[in-house]
């Protein structure tokens, strides 16, 4: 067994979980009422609806990637 492998796996897991949580936080921040997270030039194009759609895309793709990662590990 390679020395340090469990530590590397733990660090990779922590980074992956952090990425998932940040992605979900950003996505939900973009879709909420009076969203605190916006992309200024997207707001000018579609009066905020583009930001909401982008937020939903972030949330859906994050959930799909979590499911695919779990299925891949099985």
Residue 37 CB burial class (10 angstroms; 0-12, 13-18, ≥19): middle
Give 4-57 pLDDT, tens digit per residue.
Answer: 587 888 888 899 999 999 999 999 988 888 777 777 776 667 667 778 888 899
Whether the Cβ atoms of residue 20 and residue 66 lie closer than 8 Å to each other: yes
Query: Could you list the residue range(s) of the whole structural domain that residue 32 is in?
Result: 5-73
Backbone angles phi, psi at 37, to 5 degrees: -110, 120
pTM above 0.85, yes or no: no
Count of domains for the chain: 1
Whether the Cβ atoms of residue 62 and residue 30 lie closer than 8 Å to each other: no
Give the list of residues 6+ apart from residue 16 with CB closer than 8 angstroms, or none: 69
């Amino acid at each position: 067994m390679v020395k340090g492998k469990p530590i590397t796996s733990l660090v990779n897991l922590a980074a992956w979980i952090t990425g998932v949580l940040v992605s979900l936080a950003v996505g939900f921040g973009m879709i909420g009422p009076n969203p605190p997270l916006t992309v200024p030039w997207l707001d000018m194009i579609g009066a905020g609806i583009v930001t909401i759609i982008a937020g939903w895309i972030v949330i859906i793709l994050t959930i799909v990637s979590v499911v695919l990662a779990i299925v891949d590990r099985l």
